[in-house]
Amino acid sequence: MKRKDILGIKDLTRSEITEILNTAKSMRESLVAGERLPVMHGKNVATLFYENSTRTKNSFELAAKNLGATTTSISVATSSVQKGESLVDTGKTLDALRTDVIILRHPIAGAPRLLADNVKASVVNAGDGFNEHPSQALLDAMTALRHFSSLAGLKIVIVGDILHSRVARSDTHCFTKLGAEVTVCAPYTLLPDGFESLGARVETDLDKALDGANIVMPLRIQRERMLGGYFSSLEEYRAYYGITEKRLRFCAAGAIVMHPAPINREAEIAGDVADGPMSVIEEQVTNGVAVRMAMLQLLTIKG
Ligand code: CP
């Protein structure tokens, strides 16, 4: 991979996405076979998270360690960010510490690009505001490809809080670049303008959206961002947009349910669906390590 940074799926070509997914597939096979892959021995990967995370932060750290790299974790709550140090100055400090890759999560869209333009290290966007979450989209594509031979022509429905979702944006870019037909479904209040221009179909009626779907992905109701009265009650939201076993009867045979997690049980997804036979939510987390190993290797080891 020639690029220095991975800031969004929007920037990646289909061939770059395929290169990452093929590398992740071979990483996963090596992990399952118990083979050691110390290709990043001598490299340092830093995680710099201005928002909470369980999956993304820990799986990037695990991925780096699996490749033999050392890791540094900057906890924003206890770092000099609290003394007013800027993002760029924090990045320059990480450069001075000879960091090879900075994994950044930030509440402001565009922050990873600002950092990337001002540091020597590679920057990977681990989620920026409502903009993008590229490693999530890549692990979602990897998971889909473990259940379907190709994404071409697959009907994928992303349902819920599209407005606040960086996953919806990155997944729409990724799935459409791989040939899938993406529908985003939500109440009007949670549907931002412009998704049609990303190649998605927009639908407010969930039963219509689910008709013939191969993959259903409910999104978390982001309570921390829900200050605008986007729906009248959680009960009403669940009645119209909650993913339940009954609703899933509209899907195609062999359909799967994905969720980027964390999940709100009995809100956007029923507990028995999250734990049921159609759910691949835990597999997504496992695949996340292989995808992040692939991203780190392709950014740091130039062939
Ligand atoms: N899916 C996701 O980004 O999870 P975390 O917020 O736990 O990293």
Test site for ligand 1: of 51, 61, 136, 292, most ligand atoms within 8 A of the Cβ: 136
**What ligand 1 atom has the least distance to the C-alpha of 127?**
3
Phi-psi region of 129 (alpha: psi -120 to 50; beta: other; left: phi over 0): left
Closest ligand 1 atom to the C-alpha of 133? 3
Say how far apart CA 302 and CA 117 lie, in whole Å: 20
- Nearest ligand 1 atom to alpha carbon 105: 8
DSSP 266: T
Atom of ligand 1 nearest to the CA of 126: 3
- The CA distance from 17 to 214, in Å, is 21
Q: Is the peptide bond before 277 cis (omega within 30 degrees of 0)?
A: no
Side chain identity, residue 202: V
Note whether 126 and 59 are within 8 A (CB). Answer: no
115's enclosing H/E stretch is helix 111-116
Question: Which of 51, 55, 258, 287 to probe ligand 1 with, by most ligand atoms within 8 A of CB?
Answer: 55
pLDDT at 224: 64
> What residue owns the CA closest to ligand 1's atom 3?
56
Q: What is the mean pLDDT of each run of 10 residues along the chain (303 residues)?
A: 97 98 97 92 97 96 97 90 94 97 97 98 98 98 98 98 96 98 96 94 97 97 70 88 96 98 94 98 98 98 80
CA distance 166 to 109: 9
Task: Please state, in angstroms and rounded to a whole number, the distance separating the CA atoms of residues 215 and 225.
Answer: 26
Pocket of ligand 1 (CB under 6 A): 53-56, 127, 136, 260-262
Q: What's the 64 CA to ligand 1 centre distance in angstroms?
A: 17
Mutation pick for ligand 1 pocket among 51, 54, 225 (CB with most ligand atoms within 8 Å): 54
In a 3-state reduction of DSSP, which class is residue 83?
helix
- In this predicted structure, what is the pLDDT of residue 36? 83
DSSP character string of 235-256: HHHHHHH-B-TTGGGGSPTT-E
